Structure 1
Amino acid sequence: MTIVLYGHPFASFVWKPLIALYERDVAFEFRIVDPDHPEHQRRIAELSPTGQFPALVDGENEITESNAVIEYLDLFHGSAVPMIPIGEPGKAIEARMMADIFDDYIHAPMQRIVGDSLRAEQERDARGVTDAHTLLDRAYAWLEPRLQGKEWATCDRFTIADCAAAPALFYSDWVHPISERFSAVRDYRARLLSRPSVARVVDEARPYRKFFPLGAPDRD
């Protein structure tokens, strides 16, 4: 039975399991969640507590949350090197930690900035947006020395941390450009975008760039 992934090609958190699926060469069916597919909207409302995606269905197994989906794929699908190191607890913790850092300190403030732009003028949170920009600069600064001399985020290979970093840094650089003083972060982002699995999700999302509320830059 083919596994099914629910989501949208432009959704940043959906990129994470898509990258893992491509890295592990797993066959799957992608079901886009949008107004043109109300049956998929109804299904994701059943799968996720908030109706947010991604969610994966594998027979009777229903997995929501992007990191959990990636861990599930490691255990049950594909034969490539797992996204979370096996038999090395310290490295597994480091990979999960870095994934959380990209999710919480880059992805989340980026989404806060984007989300605020979708609100009515009287509902916008200028202080919250300012704080999000500040947090992104602090996160870039924290990452800079930790990425110097490295090809990937951790563990000397491509892991769940890089699955998280790719969409986080892709979109955060759109809303809060990575300064030239963070050259290691900029170079790491470029390496991510040249990775075949990441380049594929970027290309699959390209037709939807017109929906980016702050205006997609003419690059990447």
Structure 2
Amino acid sequence: MSLTLHYHPLSSYCWKVLIALYENGVPFEARAVNLGDPAARAAYAALWPTAKIPLLVDGDRVVPETSIQIEYLDRHHPGAVQMLPDEFEAQLEVRLWDRVFDLHVMTPMQRFIAQQLRPEAERDAATLTGTVNDLGLAYDLIESRLGDHAWAAGDAFTMADCAAAPALFYAAIVRPFSPAHVKLNAYFERLLARPSVWRCIVEARPVFQYYPLRHALPARFLSD
């Protein structure tokens, strides 16, 4: 099999690409990366120097960065679900929402988790407060701009929704949505009902024990 995804089942960014792969039933090898092992990390960094996950390898071609990976799959391994629409303005809308979820939801969520990985005495209170506040601002933005269509960028499931699902899954554990976020709450439930998204959650269950906020995971994500 020529298509390989180097990943970790807990990683939100890995979920983003896995969802795109699962949506279209693309055959691939999922190869878990142990970045805590120096030899494994060095071998992985030889593929792409940043040693970030996920990394997509297609034969001799190495494809980094999740949005690029999904666009690459859409072009070279297409399926029934088109991740980028044909029309240029519609593409811009998908890319905008992709950036919103990556930069304004995923990034503050990950900064918060990074603090949780430190000893409690070494955690920065200002960073923790700032990231939670940033998530609140992002939720308000999403709520105000979602519109009445089913998915982030319109009536079709796209790359934007691949980004949204893992970002919102983990962010909602850091800062739950408020009752005022009616559209956001409904959108998140639609994402969870998507088989590709739920599959990522189920596959992560054996390693949720290593997630720093495992005590705050809702019960519905731990068992069917």
Instruction: Give TM-score scaled by structure 2 length.
Output: 0.92
Residue number in structure 1 paired with 2:195: 196
Q: Quick one: distance in 2 between partners of 1:42 and 1:206?
A: 28
Residue number in structure 1 paired with 2:186: 187
With 109-118 and 140-149 compared, the bigger mean Cα shift is at 140-149
Asked whether 1:127 is paired with 2:126, we answer yes
Mapping of 1:115-154 within 5 angstroms?
115-154=114-153
Deviation at 1:146, TM superposition (A): 2.0
Q: Quick one: distance in 2 between partners of 1:32 and 1:142?
A: 35
Q: Is the 8 A contact 1:25 1:78 kept in 2?
A: no
What per-residue deviation string (whole Å, max 9, x for no partner) do you get for residues 75-101 of structure 1? 101332320112x11010110110010
Deviation at 1:37, TM superposition (A): 7.7
Deviation at 1:43, TM superposition (A): 3.5
Residue number in structure 1 paired with 2:78: 78
Mapping of 1:146-165 within 5 angstroms?
146-165=145-164
Q: Quick one: distance in 1 between partners of 2:78 and 2:36?
A: 31
Inter-CA distance 58–40: structure 2 relative to 1 (3 Å threshold): farther
Residue number in structure 2 paired with 1:56: 56
Residue number in structure 2 paired with 1:211: 210
Q: Quick one: distance in 1 between partners of 2:37 and 2:26?
A: 24
Deviation at 1:18, TM superposition (A): 0.4
Deviation at 1:120, TM superposition (A): 2.7
Q: Is the 8 A contact 2:55 2:62 kept in 1?
A: yes
Inter-CA distance 39–199: structure 2 relative to 1 (3 Å threshold): farther
Report % sequence identity: 45
Inter-CA distance 49–36: structure 2 relative to 1 (3 Å threshold): closer
Q: Quick one: distance in 2 between partners of 1:64 and 1:44?
A: 12
Q: Is the 8 A contact 2:81 2:157 kept in 1?
A: no
Deviation at 1:155, TM superposition (A): 2.9
Q: Is the 8 A contact 2:112 2:131 kept in 1?
A: yes
Asked whether 1:69 is paired with 2:63, we answer no
Q: Is the 8 A contact 1:32 1:40 kept in 2?
A: no
Q: Quick one: distance in 1 between partners of 2:55 and 2:149?
A: 32
Q: Is the 8 A contact 2:3 2:56 kept in 1?
A: yes
Q: Quick one: distance in 1 between partners of 2:40 and 2:61?
A: 17
Aligned length in residues: 219
Q: Is the 8 A contact 1:44 1:55 kept in 2?
A: no
Residue number in structure 2 paired with 1:106: 105
What amino acid is aligned across from residue 123 of structure 2 in structure 1?
Answer: R
Inter-CA distance 81–174: structure 2 relative to 1 (3 Å threshold): same
Q: Quick one: distance in 2 between partners of 1:160 and 1:180?
A: 27
- Tell me the SS of whatever aligns to 1:31: strand
Deviation at 1:205, TM superposition (A): 0.7
Tell me, which stretches of 5 or more residues in structure 1 are unaligned?
Answer: none
- Tell me the SS of whatever aligns to 1:30: strand
What per-residue deviation string (whole Å, max 9, x for no partner) do you get for residues 44-89 of structure 1? 2123332110001111110111111101101101332320112x11
